[in-house]
Amino acid sequence: MNIYTRAGDKGFTSIFGGKRVLKCHELVDTYGFIDELNSWVGLIISQLNKNDETRFFVEVQKQLLAIGSSLAGWKGLKKELVEKQIKKMEIKIDLMEKTLPTIKNFVLPGGSRVGSIVHIARSICRRAERQTVSLAQKQIIQPEIIKYLNRLSDLLFVFARFINSQGGVTEVVWSGDASTEKKR
């Protein structure tokens, strides 16, 4: 089977059920952002040693693929599985946060190479979440999808901090002034 079909050469794509929509349709944008996020999660995985984090993020990739497919009309997304993944993320967030200093201000995104990549993924996750919320105003979306994306962006923020901390990279905390910063 060829990767190209020529069916999309005029700017249309097919979603589940065979319906054709423009490639600039809000639905296509939404699952496109989730696909982009999934690619960035793949980059995160490529930067990690083969360990529990790698396995965890492969599970995130699988869930993101299921979420994107669900938005496109696939009926296989199971609420209880999404809720289970959300709980796993919350446990992981809590464990990592115990090792990190409390923050009261914004932290500038960056740090190590991996920490910076994770921050980019977090920003893309927030964009995917905003787009999903917008789409939910126009069509029915499983509410746990929005919850999942929200929790994933929280996890990515904490994971970026955790990776930087584990690597001995000092965070730059924004104090509310463009000219002043303090390191933690």
Reported as a single tens digit per residue, the pLDDT across 140-177 is: 889 999 999 999 999 999 999 999 999 998 888 887 77
d(CA 72, CA 66): 10
Of 94 and 106, the one with more pLDDT:
94
3-state secondary structure 121-146: HHHHHHHHHHHHHHHHCCCCCCHHHH
Percent of the chain scoring above 90 in pLDDT: 59
d(CA 25, CA 173): 39
111: left (phi over 0), alpha (psi -120 to 50) or beta: left
Whether the pLDDT of residue 182 is over 70: the answer is: no
For 173, phi then psi, to 5°, come to: -95, 130
* Element of type H or E holding 21: strand 20-22
Contact 71, 31 (CB under 8 A): yes
Query: Average pLDDT, whole number, for the chain?
Result: 89
Question: Which residue ranges form the domains of the chain, and what is each CATH number?
Answer: 12-183 (1.20.1200.10)
Q: Which residues, including other chains, have CB under 8 Å from residue 76's CB and lie 6 or more apart?
A: 66, 69, 70
**Average of per-residue pLDDT across 102-110:** 87
Q: Which of 10-14, 68-72, 94-98 has the highest mean pLDDT?
A: 94-98
